[in-house]
Every structure is written in C-alpha cells, then in structure tokens.
C-alpha cells in the first residue's frame, strides 16, 4: 500500500466526519423540539429513516447504533476511510464506490437536514453556539468539496415535477404544520415560539387556536421573512449546497405569506 493525493484527501475527510460525531455527543443532550433519532427526524415530524440507513450500512458491513447525526457521521467517516484505504491499495473501483455512497449519504440524509438544525440551535441555545456553528461550518465545507447541490445547476432531470429538494413544493399548506417542520422553511424550537408569543405551547406543536391572533401571525411572518433572507445569503456564501438553501428560502417566504 502507498499514499496518494486521493487517499490523503479521503483520510482528511474521514477525520472531519469523526470530529462531527464527537461534537454531536454534546449537542444532542439538549431538550429541543424535535429531539428524535436521525438527521431528518430532528427537523421534520413523523419521519424515521433508520431502515434506509441500516440498508445502506449493511452493504459495507457496517452496523449503525441509532441513526442519529453522530452515528451517521461515523458511518460517513468509515466510508471515507474505506476510500482512502482503497486508493492506497490501487483499488479504484472500491474507492469510487465508497466516494459515491458517501456523497449520496451526505446529500440525501445529512447536510440538508443537519445544517438547518445546527444553525437554528446556534442561535437559540447559547451553550450550543460554538459547537453547533463549527459543526455546521464543517458540513458546509464538505458540501462545497462534493458540490452536493450546486445553486447554478438547475433542476432539470434532478427532481420530480412540482418538487424541490425537500419534497412537494407548497406542502404542507397549513401554518400549524409549516412551523412544525423544516418543510415550512425553518427549524423551530419551542422556546422560540414562546419568546415571540409569551404563551406556553404543547410539547409537540401549538394548537390551531394559537394562530388566530393577528399580531402573533405578523410576528411569525416577519420571523420567516428574516429566515428567507438568511437562506439566500447562505446560498451565496456556499454555492456548492446553494440549491438546498434557495429551496428553504422559497419555503420560508411561502410560510410568511400564509401567516400574513
């Protein structure tokens, strides 16, 4: 076996993924609104992707523990390590497969879901600010390296008609559902809603009556308009994943209009 630039690059990425997993062990201890396993389940309700993740892991003889962000990051680290070892052994077929599977894992199950959660957590939880921001930055760097969702690529042939990177465009339609899910354009924590309303809400989501107050709906609209502007800024800063953030900007703008 011998070292190559490709092997060194993959080994460095493996270390980055492992560091993300270590940070997550601290981040995941906080009481957040969507405190469920899995990167997607952190930010959208009623989703469990563990079967899919376990199927992917079995192809590599890897065993996932619970499918949370730290667990999936360690899986990505193992794939990067497998790629590095394969390049060093002149096995280009295995190296390419490990690269492609890791890139798809990051694009499909990690970056578009984890980055919004981490950025929201860094603003909402002072004790999480540094670790969450640094983890989000690491994922964004990986996204740039792999160009997971370039903002200038267009959508032709990449998505179903009427869909964006997060699912059917314009769905869900009700405000009570949109603010409980990243599908509405933002990650929302209970303490954020309490702070703009001054009213305690249920453990899972507010009731429909909570949205009859005109002033409160106006606050929500402003909140989502600001969120849309942040996503557009992030897309400019990180064009390699910009398509995700532009999709969220559109969804946040739609939510703002519904709230008005």
If you write DSSP's letter for every residue of 52-76 in order, what string do you get? HHHHHHHTTT---SS-SHHHHHHHH
101: in domain: yes
Regarding whether 82 and 42 lie in a shared domain, the answer is: yes
Do 15 and 119 sit in the same domain of this protein?
A: yes
Q: Cβ neighbours of residue 37 under 8 Å, at least 6 residues apart?
A: 48, 50, 66, 67, 68
| Residue 214, in any domain of the structure | yes
Are 39 and 104 in a shared domain? yes
Q: Give me the pLDDT at residue 147, please.
A: 95
Q: What is the predicted pLDDT for the residue at 39?
A: 55
- Tell me: do 121 and 85 sit in the same domain: yes
Please tell me whether residues 206 and 135 are part of one structural domain.
no
Q: Residues with Cβ < 8 Å from 62, sequence gap 6 or more?
A: 75, 78
User: For position 45, what pLDDT does the model report?
Assistant: 61
Q: What mean pLDDT value characterizes the chain?
A: 84
φ, ψ for residue 163, nearest 5 deg:
-115, 150
Give the pLDDT score at 189. Answer: 78
Residue 157 lies in a domain: no
pLDDT at 72 > cutoff 60: yes
Taking the mean position of all CA atoms in its chain, how far away is CA 49?
A: 14
> Is 100 found in the same domain as 47?
yes
pLDDT tens, position by position, 129-176: 888 899 999 999 999 999 999 987 555 446 677 788 888 887 888 888
- Domain check: are 23 and 69 in the same one? yes
Q: Are residues 242 and 114 in the same domain?
A: no
Q: Are residues 131 and 186 in the same domain?
A: no
81 pLDDT band, cuts 50/70/90, is: very high
| 153 located within any domain | no
d(CA 258, CA 57): 40
Q: Of the candidates 146, 172, 193, which is a domain's last residue?
A: 146
Position 152 in a domain: no
End of a domain among 146, 181, 205?
A: 146
Report yes or no on 68 lying in a domain.
yes
Its pTM stands at: 0.88
Stretch 54-79: mean pLDDT, rounded? 89
181 and 131 assigned to the same domain: no
Nearest to 113 by CA among 175, 55, 165, 63: 165
Domain that holds residue 20: 5-146
Is-contact 27 119, C-beta < 8 A? no
- Split at pLDDT 50, 70, 90, the class of 121 is confident
**In the prediction, which pLDDT does 35 show?**
41
Q: How many structural domains is the chain composed of?
A: 2
> What pLDDT does residue 37 have?
39
């Amino acid at each position: 076996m011998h070292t190559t630039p490709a092997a060194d690059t993959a080994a460095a990425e493996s270390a980055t993924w492992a560091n993300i997993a270590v940070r997550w062990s601290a981040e995941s201890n906080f009481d957040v609104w969507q405190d469920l396993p899995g990167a997607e389940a952190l930010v959208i309700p009623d989703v469990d992707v563990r079967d899919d993740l376990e199927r992917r892991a079995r192809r590599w003889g890897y065993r996932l523990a619970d499918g949370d962000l730290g667990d999936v990051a360690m899986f990505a680290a193992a794939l990067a390590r497998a790629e590095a070892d394969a390049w060093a052994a002149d096995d280009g077929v295995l190296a390419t497969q490990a690269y492609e599977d890791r890139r798809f894992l990051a694009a499909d199950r990690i970056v578009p879901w984890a980055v919004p959660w981490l950025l929201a957590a860094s603003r909402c939880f002072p004790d999480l600010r540094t670790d969450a921001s640094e983890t989000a930055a690491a994922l964004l760097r990986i996204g740039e390296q792999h160009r997971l969702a370039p903002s200038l690529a267009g959508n032709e042939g990449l998505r179903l008609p009427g869909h964006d990177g997060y699912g059917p465009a314009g769905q869900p339609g009700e405000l009570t559902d949109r603010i409980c899910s990243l599908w509405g354009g933002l990650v929302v924590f209970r303490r954020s809603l309490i702070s703009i309303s001054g009213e305690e809400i249920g453990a899972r989501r507010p009731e429909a009556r909570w949205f009859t107050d005109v002033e409160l709906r106006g606050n929500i609209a402003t909140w989502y308009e600001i969120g849309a502007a942040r996503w557009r800024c992030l897309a400019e800063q990180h064009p390699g994943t910009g398509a995700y953030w532009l999709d969220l900007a559109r969804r946040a703008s739609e939510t703002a209009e519904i709230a008005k």
